[in-house]
């Protein structure tokens, strides 16, 4: 029997859970002349949702994760390379001849792809990126408007502090392309799109992707566990209680529980056994991660894991909140109604280590 749960990559079709309302909202935005800003913690399914929307629109998509760009010139290079892979050379070669800094192109005989590079001077690093974005806009005038998806957009300031202003100055004139800005750090994304001082103030339709509603997620799990056990309700409740409805970790735990049930019969302690197995698999990763965390931040994590609250008042409050800011920025902690672990298995790893 095929395992009906999937994690660790973009999900689609039967693996996609709920999000009907968000799907319709995003689809309507991108079917108009507006741009979309989508914010949620990491692994909440932003990319999966956007993929489902773009597939339904049947339009060319250029996806770029800003975390993978080393500088502005590299961003231009990667965008152009993706663009060329989607378009026939005969249709775009005359556009490239008009670039102010003509890119160097070389066919890779092993992959059949095109290698791209720019040689901008120190004074015009933004010029290649501007030309590439304007090229994408020009092809949209032919009728099939492209979608440019910029993931982890909050990292734009790390490429160049002036890039937001320069980028806004160019793409605000684009009428034949929709931009999608994805971000996992809510405070930074809100600063970019909600602050009046920001060049991107109210530039797009802002959507915040929350956890999947309990009822929808419960039904999703139960319907799939029904295929293999009569205890589907019990397992589904226990999984959601442990993961607190985090989309990625819910899928991960459900996947391993389903695999367990394929090998053995249902047991009352199935969840503790599976959770322990997952933590054991990732033990080395958690140890490596733990060794990169400062002593102050470790104290915060231990207190949250063991007691479900921040360290006592005797701990300097300014130190606590600066530590929380670091942990949130690194994706270890998420701030909702309270501060909680992004990864529930990491939380339990800490508990296990403290109880050894």
DSSP assignment string, 140-200: HTTS---EEEEESGGGHHHH-TTHHHHHHHHHTT-SS-EEEEEES-HHHHHHHHH-TTSTT
C-alpha closest to that of 252 among 2, 81, 83, 9:
9
**How high is the pLDDT of residue 202?**
94
Task: Name the token pair of 237.
Answer: 């409740």
**How high is the pLDDT of residue 228?**
95
Q: Are residues 319 and 338 in the same domain?
A: yes
- Within 8 A by CB and 6+ apart from 182, the residues are 38, 39, 46, 47, 50, 149, 150, 151, 152, 153
Q: Along the 356 residues of the chain, how does pLDDT read in single tens digits? A: 789 998 876 655 565 666 888 999 999 999 999 999 999 988 888 988 999 999 999 899 999 999 999 999 999 999 999 998 887 767 677 778 788 887 888 776 666 667 788 877 766 789 999 999 999 998 887 778 999 999 999 999 999 999 999 999 999 999 999 999 999 888 889 999 999 999 999 999 999 988 888 999 999 999 999 999 999 999 999 999 999 999 999 999 999 999 999 999 899 999 999 999 999 999 999 999 999 999 999 999 999 999 998 887 667 888 898 999 999 988 899 887 789 999 999 999 999 999 98
The CATH number linked to 304 is 1.10.10
Q: Are residues 77 and 202 in the same domain?
A: yes
Q: Are residues 265 and 307 in the same domain?
A: no
* Cα–chain center distance at 224: 26
Tell me if 2 is assigned to some domain. Answer: no
Q: Are residues 199 and 251 in the same domain?
A: no
Q: Are residues 270 and 302 in the same domain?
A: no
**How high is the pLDDT of residue 16?**
63
Q: Are residues 60 and 116 in the same domain?
A: yes
Tell me if 286 is assigned to some domain. Answer: no
Tell me if 76 is assigned to some domain. Answer: yes
Alpha carbons 307 and 242: distance in angstroms, whole number: 16
Q: Are residues 167 and 234 in the same domain?
A: no
Prediction pTM value: 0.84
Q: Are residues 103 and 238 in the same domain?
A: no
Q: Which domain range does residue 225 map to?
A: 214-281
Four-CA torsion 235, 241, 247, 248, nearest 10 degrees: -80
C-alpha closest to that of 349 among 299, 291, 305, 304:
305
> Rounded to a whole number, what is the distance in angstroms from the first to the last CA of the chain?
38
Reported as half-sphere exposure (CB side, CA atoms, 13 A), residue 145 has a value of 16
Task: Name the token pair of 274.
Answer: 């599976």
**How high is the pLDDT of residue 171?**
96
Residue-by-residue DSSP string for 316-351:
-HHHHHHHHHHHHHTTSEEESSSEEES-HHHHHHHH
Tell me if 314 is assigned to some domain. Answer: yes
**How high is the pLDDT of residue 115?**
79
C-alpha closest to that of 231 among 265, 262, 255, 263:
265
Q: List, for residues 296-318, the tens digit of each pLDDT value.
A: 999 999 999 999 988 876 678 88
Last residue of a domain, one of 249, 281, 313: 281
- Within 8 A by CB and 6+ apart from 32, the residues are none
**How high is the pLDDT of residue 14?**
62
Q: Are residues 245 and 143 in the same domain?
A: no
Q: Are residues 102 and 190 in the same domain?
A: yes
Q: Are residues 76 and 50 in the same domain?
A: yes
> Which residue's structure tokens are 């290649």?
128
Tell me if 8 is assigned to some domain. Answer: no
DSSP state letter for 38: E
State how many domains the chain has. 3
Percent of the chain at pLDDT > 90 equals 67
Tell me if 6 is assigned to some domain. Answer: no
């Amino acid at each position: 029997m095929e395992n009906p749960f999937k994690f660790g990559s973009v999900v689609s079709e039967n693996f996609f859970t709920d999000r009907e309302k968000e799907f319709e909202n995003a689809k309507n935005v991108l079917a108009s002349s507006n741009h979309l800003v989508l914010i949620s913690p990491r692994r909440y399914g932003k990319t999966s949702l956007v993929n489902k929307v773009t597939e339904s629109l049947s339009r060319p998509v250029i996806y770029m994760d800003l975390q993978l760009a080393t500088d502005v010139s590299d961003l231009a290079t990667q965008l152009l390379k993706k663009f060329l892979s989607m378009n026939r050379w005969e249709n775009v070669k005359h556009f490239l001849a008009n670039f102010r800094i003509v890119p160097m192109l070389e066919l890779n005989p092993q992959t059949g792809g095109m290698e791209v590079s720019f040689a901008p001077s120190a004074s015009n690093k933004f010029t290649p990126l501007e030309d590439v974005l304007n090229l994408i806009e020009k092809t949209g005038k032919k009728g099939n408007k492209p979608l440019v998806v910029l993931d982890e957009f909050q990292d734009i300031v790390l490429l160049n502090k002036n890039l937001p202003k320069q980028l806004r100055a160019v793409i605000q004139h684009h009428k034949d392309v929709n931009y999608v800005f994805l971000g996992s750090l809510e405070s930074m994304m809100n600063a970019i799109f909600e602050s009046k001082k920001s060049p991107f103030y109210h530039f797009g339709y802002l959507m915040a992707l929350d956890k999947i509603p309990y009822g929808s997620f419960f039904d999703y799990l139960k319907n799939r566990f029904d295929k293999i056990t009569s205890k589907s309700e019990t397992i589904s409740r226990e999984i959601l209680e442990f993961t607190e409805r985090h989309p990625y970790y819910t899928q991960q735990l459900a996947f391993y529980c389903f695999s367990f049930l394929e090998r053995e019969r249902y047991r009352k302690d199935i969840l503790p056994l599976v959770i322990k197995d997952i933590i054991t698999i990732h033990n080395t990763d958690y140890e490596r991660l733990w060794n990169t965390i400062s002593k102050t931040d470790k104290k915060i994590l231990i207190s949250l894991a063991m007691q479900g609250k921040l360290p006592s008042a005797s701990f300097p409050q300014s130190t606590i909140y600066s530590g929380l800011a670091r942990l949130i920025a690194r994706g270890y902690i998420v701030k909702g109604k309270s501060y909680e672990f992004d990864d529930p298995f990491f939380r339990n790893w800490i508990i296990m280590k403290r109880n050894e």
